[in-house]
Amino acid sequence: MSKFRMHLLVCGGTGCRASESNLIVESLRRELEEKGLGNEVQVIMTGCFGFCEKGPVVKVMPDNTFYVQVKPEDAALIVAEHVIKGRPVQRLLYVDPRSKEHISDSKHMGFYRKQLRIALRNCGFINPENIDEYIARDGYAALGKCLSELSPSEVIDTIKKSGLRGRGGAGFPTGLKWDIASKNQAGQKYVVCNADEGDPGAFMDRSVLEGDPHSVLEAMAICGYSIGATKGLIYIRAEYPLAIQRLKVAIAQAREYGLLGNSIFGTGFSFDIDLRYGAGAFVCGEETALIHSMEGMRGEPTNKPPFPAESGFMGKPTNVNNVETYASIPVIINKGWEWFSSIGTEKSKGTKVFALAGKINNVGLIEVPMGTTLREIIFEIGGGIKNGKKFKAVQTGGPSGGCLTEKHLDIPIDFDNLVAAGSMMGSGGMIVMDEDDCMVSIAKYFLEFTVEESCGKCAPCRIGNKRIHELLEHITKGNGTMADLDRLKNMSYVIKDTALCGLGQTSPNPVLSTMTNFWDEYIAHVTEKRCPAGSCRDLMKYSIDVDKCVGCTACARGCPVNAISGERKGPHFIDQDKCINCGACFEKCKFGAVLIN
Partner 1 sequence: MSSIKIELRKEDVDKINEICDSFNNEPLELINILHKTQEHFGYLPAEVQEAIASRLNISTARVYGVVTFYSFFTMTPKGKHPISICMGTACYVRGAEKVLDEFKKELSIQVGQTTPDGKFSLSSLRCVGACGLAPVVLVGEKTYGRVAPDDVQAILKEYE
Tell me how far apart the alpha carbons of residues 49 and 59 are, in angstroms, rounded to a whole number.
9
- Mark the segment that binds partner 1 (CB under 8 A) among 75-83, 130-138, 213-221, 273-281: 273-281
513: Cβ–Cβ under 8 A, 6 or more apart, which residues? 401, 402, 403, 404, 422, 423
Among 224, 358, 402, 504, the residue binding partner 1 under the rule CB under 8 A is 358
Angle, CA of 60, 64 and 65, to the nearest 5°: 65
Among 415, 449, 542, 586, the residue binding partner 1 under the rule CB under 8 A is 449
- Mark the segment that binds partner 1 (CB under 8 A) among 9-17, 97-105, 163-171, 547-555: 9-17
Does position 295 interact with partner 1 (CB under 8 A)? The reply is: yes
- Mark the segment that binds partner 1 (CB under 8 A) among 226-234, 252-260, 291-299, 544-552: 291-299
Does position 586 interact with partner 1 (CB under 8 A)? The reply is: no
Assign 295 to helix, strand or coil. coil
SS (H, E, C) 77-128: HHHHHHHHHCCCCHHHEEECCCCCCEECCHHHCHHHHCCCCCCCCCCCCCCC
Tell me how far apart the alpha carbons of residues 500 and 513 are, in angstroms, rounded to a whole number.
21
Which 185-244 positions form the footprint of partner 1 (CB under 8 A)?
A: 198-203, 206-207, 238-239
Does position 363 interact with partner 1 (CB under 8 A)? The reply is: yes
- Mark the segment that binds partner 1 (CB under 8 A) among 356-364, 413-421, 485-493, 513-521: 356-364
Tell me how far apart the alpha carbons of residues 549 and 543 are, in angstroms, rounded to a whole number.
11
Tell me how far apart the alpha carbons of residues 361 and 52 are, in angstroms, rounded to a whole number.
11
Does position 18 interact with partner 1 (CB under 8 A)? The reply is: yes
Q: How many residues bind partner 1 (CB under 8 A)?
A: 51
Tell me how far apart the alpha carbons of residues 418 and 347 are, in angstroms, rounded to a whole number.
12
Does position 312 interact with partner 1 (CB under 8 A)? The reply is: no
Nearer to partner 1, 79 or 289 (CB): 289
Does position 395 interact with partner 1 (CB under 8 A)? The reply is: yes
Tell me how far apart the alpha carbons of residues 486 and 509 are, in angstroms, rounded to a whole number.
15
Tell me how far apart the alpha carbons of residues 26 and 12 are, in angstroms, rounded to a whole number.
13
Residues in the chain: 597
Tell me how far apart the alpha carbons of residues 551 and 568 are, in angstroms, rounded to a whole number.
5
**Please, are residues 201 and 312 in contact by the beta-carbon 8 Å criterion?**
no
DSSP code at position 593: -
Does position 279 interact with partner 1 (CB under 8 A)? The reply is: yes
**Please, are residues 44 and 81 in contact by the beta-carbon 8 Å criterion?**
no
**Residue 560 CB, nearest distance to partner 1 (Å)?**
8
Among 9, 19, 174, 211, the residue binding partner 1 under the rule CB under 8 A is 19
Does position 276 interact with partner 1 (CB under 8 A)? The reply is: yes
Tell me how far apart the alpha carbons of residues 235 and 216 are, in angstroms, rounded to a whole number.
12
**Residue 442 CB, nearest distance to partner 1 (Å)?**
8
Nearer to partner 1, 138 or 272 (CB): 272
**Residue 287 CB, nearest distance to partner 1 (Å)?**
17
Does position 391 interact with partner 1 (CB under 8 A)? The reply is: no
**Residue 55 CB, nearest distance to partner 1 (Å)?**
6
Nearer to partner 1, 38 or 201 (CB): 201
- Mark the segment that binds partner 1 (CB under 8 A) among 115-123, 329-337, 350-358, 466-474: 350-358
- Chain positions contacting partner 1, by CB under 8 A: 13-15, 17-19, 52-55, 198-203, 206-207, 238-239, 276-282, 293, 295-299, 355, 357-359, 363-364, 395, 398, 429, 431, 433, 437, 442, 445, 449, 455, 560, 587
